[in-house]
């Protein structure tokens, strides 16, 4: 796909003809009447089914009054229509329909439709009690639509699946489906007990396929309520995945502890997130009890295939059976794994390859075998992670810190693997035999492997091992590591002989002096401080240290930000945020910007410190800027480390205006993808005009508060200058936009 990006794009909207009607709100109530009601606040309907049959004009809203609703038929929600409740604990919709794939709420459209709608503040309940006592199969099913937001909801007790986002109507596409839903969001939801494993396959609390730029954040998803081997996954692919630019962040995800004695027993796995066919995937700042499993990770048009960072992965207490941390299956390109804490797992990062010609059911579109094969490992980096209490669990599975496994053939193809500045600590009394394991490599080819600045302790056989009878590796650099209390006198084992062009020097075998048996940062007197090698990344002190604490002197910030919102109140802007978990959190610095790029601190709120329950914080900006104000939180812990929240937009104007965040034009799909920040729900219009005055796009959209991702079909736009015009009820503006291929 050829993509052109508008680097300096400002998008304006044109409100269409004066004949368009104003958005309206309609009501349902447990005491309403579908036969005689008219949906007004004084004469509401009784069911969501009736409301969705009647309210079909874009921009309208169905308000669900407090109470419990028993729905006997699927509700089909029209494009552009919103559903809002009075709160997820107050407005409860229960599915009474039964049968395979029965669905409580359906949003079904052809490909490439922009929903521009939200579903919020509701509970959807499928009434699952046990394997013989349940009703509705699926909670929410979105097909073909983009710009759909599901937020502040509870989705509970569905036998099969909680929520499905299906961006393409193709049935299980084995090739790139070509059509993607753009701009969907799933955030601040609680999803419980709504995914099954039937012994043959598992389903997800959230199932996603053919999504571009989808954001999944602030959710709590737990699937551990069913008997052993019958729980599904929190996040699962739909229709073979096919995901581009998806972001999964600030979630709490829990999968039932794995009880099998071998991987896949009774159709079960230890996966908390399982995805297939991904490009530009970002997984960050999540608390995950279970593993991450990615299949076919490709770079495509993005700067990375997957970026997995600042996550906490592993169980407390530890599961005595084998459980994985991060698993990359088949092809893995430009994967960056950094700043994670993986605790109480058996294998930290494992690459599960197949033979070169094994396509896993996904043939190469060009025919034959792609360069390097279907399991090619290209330019992957694992750095600045803490792997603590790595253990050899009950059952089969190869425990290690980083391991390349072959499910057949032992012919892994590796070009570029960097393992930098990690700390690997084996569990006393249950230690794996090897930390960094290339022992399945004898029929393969690995080159450009760099292992530097790591601390490795407690592995029984050796800290680094190659294969036998052939090493099949070249250009291997192993320098400036500290291997302490490992087998083979803390030296690597190459049973097939040293790699070709092997560099091994400046490695230590000394006690690194961790702060404690549970805090694996370094004491001030550690003998490995300033003993690392500069690999082009930031460091503190006189020279690089060894281990994971080089870059930020400690583990990721242990703060779960559940929500961050703002609203205008006269001449003040009111901000609110909620945390679900805090560990050693010091304070929040509130930052403001006029353009969404340059921020300055305007206030400080002290944090709770350490908490396992929800904590709500407030801040008032008494002197907001004119127009749109952009806010973010700088979260600072007691070690002085900082992370930023997402950005929100609030206007101090009566009606509010909108501003462009980013835009992308795709010549191959003739699709304009535009992200717009809006401080309020409002109608607006979009126009794109070329320099000859030809109107290439002229359409109306419905904006929701926050960041809206808008996709529209346009003619192929060659290189040139365009006028993109935005009109809201408050503002009109026009700026030049350049496109480049």
Domain end, chosen from 555, 570, 605, is at 555
Question: Does residue 235 lie in a domain region?
Answer: no
Report for 399-413, 569-583, 606-620: range of highest mean pLDDT: 399-413
Contacts of 569 (CB under 8 A, 6+ apart): none
611 is in which domain, residue-wise? 558-640
Overall size of the chain counted in residues: 741
8 Å CB contact between 250 and 217: yes
Q: Is the pLDDT of residue 541 over 90?
A: no
Q: How far is CA 511 from CA 456, 457, 508, 517, 549, in A?
A: 10, 9, 9, 13, 16
Question: Does residue 379 lie in a domain region?
Answer: no
Residue 656 confidence (pLDDT): 52
Phi-psi region of 107 (alpha: psi -120 to 50; beta: other; left: phi over 0): beta
Average of per-residue pLDDT across 640-653: 76
Is the same domain home to 413 and 519? yes
> Which pLDDT band, with edges at 50, 70 and 90, does 436 fall under?
very high
8 Å CB contact between 421 and 453: yes
Q: Is the pLDDT of residue 328 over 50?
A: yes
- The residue with greater pLDDT, 115 or 708, is 115
Closest CA to 164 of 226, 220, 121, 209: 209
Contacts of 40-47 spanning 24+ positions with Cβ under 8 A: 47/71, 47/75
8 Å CB contact between 254 and 314: no
Out of 389-393, 401-405, 544-548, 558-562, which region has the weakest mean confidence (pLDDT)? Answer: 558-562
Is the same domain home to 664 and 570? no
Residue 712 confidence (pLDDT): 73
The span from the CA of 275 to the CA of 210, in Å, is 11
Is the same domain home to 619 and 537? no
Say what percent of the chain tops pLDDT 90: 65
Question: Does residue 176 lie in a domain region?
Answer: no
Mean pLDDT computed over every residue of the chain? 88
Question: Does residue 46 lie in a domain region?
Answer: no
8 Å CB contact between 28 and 55: no
Out of 236-250, 277-291, 543-557, 565-579, which region has the weakest mean confidence (pLDDT)? Answer: 543-557
What does the block give as tokens for 2? 């050829």
Average of per-residue pLDDT across 356-375: 93
Judged on CB neighbours under 10 Å (0-12, 13-18, 19+), 252 is buried
Beta-bridge partners for 107: 142
Q: How many domains does the chain have?
A: 3
CA 343 to the chain's CA centroid: 20
Q: Is the pLDDT of residue 584 over 90?
A: no
Q: For position 709, which CATH number holds?
A: 2.60.40.3080
Is the same domain home to 348 and 453? yes
Average of per-residue pLDDT across 47-57: 98
> Which pLDDT band, with edges at 50, 70 and 90, does 737 fall under?
low
93 phi/psi in degrees, rounded to 5: -115, 120
SS3 for 435-502 is: EEECCCCCCCEEEEEEEECCEEECCCCEEEECCCCCCCEEEEEEECCEEECCCHHHCCECCCCCCEEE
DSSP assignment of 10-66, as one string?
--------TTPPPP-EEEE-TT--TTT--SSSSS-BS-HHHHHHH--STT-EEEE-S
Question: Does residue 448 lie in a domain region?
Answer: yes
Contacts of 143 (CB under 8 A, 6+ apart): 106, 107, 108, 109, 164, 166, 169
Is the same domain home to 498 and 573? no
- The residue with greater pLDDT, 703 or 288, is 288
Average of per-residue pLDDT across 61-85: 97
Say which DSSP state 77 is in: P
Residue 124 confidence (pLDDT): 98
Residue 477 confidence (pLDDT): 98
Average of per-residue pLDDT across 258-264: 88
Residue 550 confidence (pLDDT): 60
8 Å CB contact between 292 and 235: no
Domain end, chosen from 555, 588, 622, is at 555
Beta-bridge partners for 616: 578
Q: For position 622, which CATH number holds?
A: 2.60.40.10
The span from the CA of 243 to the CA of 249, in Å, is 16
> Which pLDDT band, with edges at 50, 70 and 90, does 710 fall under?
confident
Residue 736 confidence (pLDDT): 63
Contacts of 519 (CB under 8 A, 6+ apart): none
Is the same domain home to 479 and 603? no
Question: What totals of helices (H) and strands (E) does the chain contain, helices first?
Answer: 1, 60
Residue 655 confidence (pLDDT): 44
Question: Does residue 59 lie in a domain region?
Answer: no
Q: What is the CA radius of gyration of the chain?
A: 27
> Which pLDDT band, with edges at 50, 70 and 90, does 639 fall under?
low
Is the same domain home to 459 and 602? no
Is the same domain home to 547 and 572? no
Question: Does residue 99 lie in a domain region?
Answer: no
> Which pLDDT band, with edges at 50, 70 and 90, does 688 fall under?
confident
Q: Is the pLDDT of residue 217 over 60?
A: yes
Judged on CB neighbours under 10 Å (0-12, 13-18, 19+), 631 is buried
Greatest pairwise CA separation for the chain in angstroms: 85
Beta-bridge partners for 186: 150, 216
Is the same domain home to 662 and 717? yes
- The residue with greater pLDDT, 583 or 382, is 382
Question: Does residue 566 lie in a domain region?
Answer: yes
Token pair 């084996």 is at which residue? 426
Residue 602 confidence (pLDDT): 94
Q: Is the pLDDT of residue 530 over 70?
A: yes
Closest CA to 154 of 139, 132, 175, 167: 139
Residue 140 confidence (pLDDT): 98
Residue 413 confidence (pLDDT): 97
8 Å CB contact between 452 and 477: yes
For 675, half-sphere exposure in the C-beta direction (CA atoms, 13 angstrom radius) is 18
Closest CA to 505 of 480, 485, 524, 530: 480
> Which pLDDT band, with edges at 50, 70 and 90, does 564 fall under?
confident
Out of 12-16, 575-579, 700-704, which region has the weakest mean confidence (pLDDT)? Answer: 12-16
CB atoms within 10 A of CB 282: 18
> Which pLDDT band, with edges at 50, 70 and 90, does 22 fall under?
low
Is the same domain home to 690 and 725? yes
The span from the CA of 125 to the CA of 157, in Å, is 6
Token pair 């993509």 is at which residue? 3
Domain end, chosen from 613, 640, 667, is at 640
Phi-psi region of 350 (alpha: psi -120 to 50; beta: other; left: phi over 0): beta
Is the same domain home to 609 and 635? yes
Is the same domain home to 507 and 629? no
The span from the CA of 361 to the CA of 407, in Å, is 15
Say what percent of the chain tops pLDDT 70: 88
Instruction: Return the beta strands (E) in 121-176 as ranges.
Output: 123-125, 138-151, 154-156, 161-166
């Amino acid at each position: 796909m050829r993509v052109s990006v508008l680097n300096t794009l400002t998008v304006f909207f044109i409100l269409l003809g004066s004949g368009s009607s104003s958005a309206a709100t309609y009501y349902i109530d447990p005491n309403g009447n579908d036969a005689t009601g008219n949906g007004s606040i004084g004469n509401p309907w009784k069911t969501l089914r009736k409301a969705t049959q009647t309210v079909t004009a874009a921009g309208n809203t169905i308000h669900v009054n407090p109470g419990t609703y028993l729905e006997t038929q699927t509700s089909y929600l029209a494009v552009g229509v919103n559903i809002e409740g009075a709160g997820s604990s107050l407005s409860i919709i229960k599915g009474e329909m039964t049968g395979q794939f029965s669905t409580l709420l359906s949003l079904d459209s052809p490909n490439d439709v922009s929903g521009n709608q939200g579903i919020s503040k509701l509970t959807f309940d499928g009434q699952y009690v046990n394997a013989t006592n349940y009703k509705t199969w699926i909670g929410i099913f979105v097909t073909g639509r983009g710009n759909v937001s599901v937020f502040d909801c509870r989705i509970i007790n569905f036998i099969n699946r909680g929520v499905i986002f299906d961006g393409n109507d193709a049935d299980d596409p084995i090739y790139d489906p070509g059509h993607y839903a753009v701009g969907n969001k799933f955030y601040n939801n609680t999803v419980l007990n709504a995914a099954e494993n039937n012994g043959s396959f598992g389903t997800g609390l959230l199932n996603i396929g053919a999504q571009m730029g989808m954001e999944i954040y602030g959710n709590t998803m737990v699937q551990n309520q069913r008997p052993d081997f019958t729980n599904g996954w929190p996040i699962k692919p739909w229709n073979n995945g096919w995901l581009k630019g998806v972001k999964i962040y600030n979630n709490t995800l829990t999968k039932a502890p794995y009880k099998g004695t071998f991987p896949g027993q009774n159709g079960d796995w230890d996966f908390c997130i399982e995805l297939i066919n991904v490009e530009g995937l970002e997984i960050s700042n999540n608390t995950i009890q279970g593993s991450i499993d990615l299949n076919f990770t490709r770079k495509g048009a993005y700067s990375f295939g997957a970026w997995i960072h600042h996550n906490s992965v592993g169980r407390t207490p530890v599961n005595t059976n084998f459980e994985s941390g991060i698993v990359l299956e088949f092809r893995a390109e430009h994967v960056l794994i950094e700043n994670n804490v993986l605790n109480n797992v058996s294998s930290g990062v494992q690459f599960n390859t197949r033979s070169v010609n094994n396509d896993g059911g996904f043939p190469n579109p060009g025919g034959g075998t792609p360069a390097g094969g279907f399991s090619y490992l290209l330019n992957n980096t694992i750095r600045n992670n803490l792997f603590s209490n790595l253990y050899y669990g009950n059952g089969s599975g190869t425990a290690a810190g980083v391991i390349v496994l072959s499910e057949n053939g032992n012919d892994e193809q590796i070009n570029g693997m960097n393992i930098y500045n990690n700390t690997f600590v084996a569990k006393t009394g249950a230690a794996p035999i090897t930390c960094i394991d290339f022992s399945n490599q004898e029929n393969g080819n690995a080159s450009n492997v760099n292992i530097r600045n790591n601390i490795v302790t407690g592995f029984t056989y050796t800290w680094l091992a190659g294969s036998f009878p052939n090493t099949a590796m070249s250009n291997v650099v192993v320098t400036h590591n500290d291997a302490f209390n490992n087998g083979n006198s803390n030296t690597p084992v190459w049973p097939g002989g040293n790699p070709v062009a092997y560099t091994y020097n400046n490695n230590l075998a000394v006690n690194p002096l961790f702060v404690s048996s549970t805090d694996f940062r370094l004491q001030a007197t550690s003998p490995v401080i300033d003993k690392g090698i500069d690999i082009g990344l930031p460091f503190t002190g006189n020279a690089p240290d060894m281990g994971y604490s080089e870059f930020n002197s400690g583990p990721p910030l242990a703060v779960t930000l559940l929500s961050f919102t703002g609203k205008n109140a006269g001449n003040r802007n009111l901000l609110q945020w909620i945390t679900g978990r805090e560990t050693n959190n010091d304070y929040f610095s509130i930052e403001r910007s006029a353009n969404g790029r340059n921020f300055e601190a305007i206030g400080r709120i002290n944090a709770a410190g350490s908490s396992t329950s929800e904590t709500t914080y407030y801040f008032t900006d008494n002197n907001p800027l004119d127009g749109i104000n952009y806010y973010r939180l700088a979260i600072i812990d007691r070690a002085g480390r900082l992370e930023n929240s997402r950005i929100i937009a609030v206007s101090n104007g009566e009606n509010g205006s909108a501003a462009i965040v980013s835009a992308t034009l795709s010549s191959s799909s003739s699709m304009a993808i535009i992200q717009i920040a809006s401080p309020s729900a409002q109608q607006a219009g979009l126009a794109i005009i070329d320099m000859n005055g030809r109107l290439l796009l002229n359409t109306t959209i419905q904006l929701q508060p926050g960041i809206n991702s808008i996709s529209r079909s346009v003619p192929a736009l060659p290189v040139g200058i365009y006028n993109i015009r935005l009109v809201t009820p408050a503002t009109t503006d026009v700026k030049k936009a350049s496109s480049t291929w």
